[in-house]
Amino acid sequence: MLIAQISDIHASPDGPSLLAFERAIDWLKAFRPDALVLTGDLVDDGWQQGYRRIAEGLRALNFPVYLLPGNGDDRSVMRAELSEVGRWTGMSGPMHFRAAVNGVSLVGVDVTVPGQSYGEIRPHLPWLRNALSDVAIPVLLFTHQPPFEVGIEVLDQVGCRNGDALREFLEAGTRPPLGVLCGHVHRPVSGRWGSIALQTCGSLCPPNPLLFRGRHDLPLLDAPSFLVHELRKDQLLSHVVSIRSIADNV
C-alpha cells in the first residue's frame, strides 16, 4: 500500500515550481501509488492559471487524488479549479476529506485560518471526532500546518495552534492514526507522539534552509522533494523522493 504526498508547490508565474511538479507527476505516473495526497499551498496568491496547470497534471493520473488547502491558497478559487480531481466532504467552508483506499483510511483536516499563516485545530475537533468514529484502521491523518513543533522557531510561530488538544484527543480515542502527515515547513521532518508518527513533507518549491535555533548562516543544500508512504500492516515507512535542482533540469 503506497500513498504519495506532495506539498507546497507554491506555483507562481515566474517561479520554477510547476516544472518540479511536472517532474513529480511524470515520476508518479511510472511509480503508480495507490493514492496521492496534496497537503496544501498549491499556488501563491490564489494564482488561477496555476490551479489550472496543477489540475491538468492531476487529471492525467489513474489513481485517486485528495487535496488540502494551505495558508497560501484561495479556498474558493482552488475548489472551483480543482473540482474535477478534488474530493471534499462539504460544498463550502473547510476543505476536509475522508476516504478509504485499499483498507487504509485517509483523513484530511483543513486547519487553515483565512488570512493567517498559522492554522488552528480546535474548531475542527468535532468534525474529526465524527470522521474517526467509524473508520477502518489504519488511519493516516493529514493537515497543512503541523500541529507539533519542528524546532525551527520562525516556522513554529506559524504552525497549527492547539496541537496538544489534538494529541490528547487522538491518544484518548480508539482509532489513533498511524501517522500525522503535514506540509507547510518546506522540509522533511520526522518525529513521534508516543505511538503516532509525525512527518512533514518537503516542498516542490525551493526548500527552507535548516534555520535551526536561530541559525541563518547555513547555505541551502537541499533539493525539492516529496514523500512516498508505505504501509505494511501497522508499520508506516516514509521515503523521501528528491527532485534534482531546477538548474540541473534546464
Helix or strand run (H / E) with residue 171: helix 163-172
Our finding on whether 70 is near Fe ion (CB under 5 A) is: yes
With CB under 5 A as the contact rule, the residue among 5, 7, 39, 71 that binds Fe ion is: 71
For the chain, the residue count is: 250
Of the listed pieces 26-34, 63-71, 132-140, 208-216, which binds Fe ion according to CB under 5 A?
Answer: 63-71
- Taking the complex as a whole, the smallest distance from the CB of residue 40 to Fe ion amounts, in Å, to 6
- When the beta carbons of 105 and 203 are compared against Fe ion, the nearer one is 203
Task: Count residues binding Fe ion (CB under 5 A).
Answer: 4
Instruction: Give yes or no for a contact between 89 and 97, defined as CB atoms under 8 angstroms apart.
Output: yes
Q: Taking CB under 5 A as the criterion, which residues in 16-45 touch Fe ion? A: 41
Our finding on whether 184 is near Fe ion (CB under 5 A) is: yes
Our finding on whether 69 is near Fe ion (CB under 5 A) is: no
Q: Give 245's Cβ-side CA count (13 Å radius).
A: 6
Amino acid identity, residue 229? H
- When the beta carbons of 96 and 184 are compared against Fe ion, the nearer one is 184
Our finding on whether 7 is near Fe ion (CB under 5 A) is: no
- Taking the complex as a whole, the smallest distance from the CB of residue 177 to Fe ion amounts, in Å, to 21
- Taking the complex as a whole, the smallest distance from the CB of residue 186 to Fe ion amounts, in Å, to 8
Residue whose CB is nearest to Fe ion in the complex, by number: 184
Q: Residue 101 CB: number of other CB atoms within 10 A?
A: 18
- When the beta carbons of 105 and 145 are compared against Fe ion, the nearer one is 145
Our finding on whether 186 is near Fe ion (CB under 5 A) is: no
Using the CB atoms, write b or e for 33-59: b if 16+ within 10 Å. Answer: bbbbbbbbbbbbebbeebbebbbebbe
- Taking the complex as a whole, the smallest distance from the CB of residue 39 to Fe ion amounts, in Å, to 9
Instruction: Give the DSSP letter string of 128-160.
Output: HHHHTSS--SSEEEE-SS-SS--S-HHHHTTSE
Radius of gyration of the chain (CA): 17
Instruction: Give the DSSP letter string of 6-17.
Output: E----B-TTSSH
What is the binding site for Fe ion (CB under 5 A)?
41, 70-71, 184
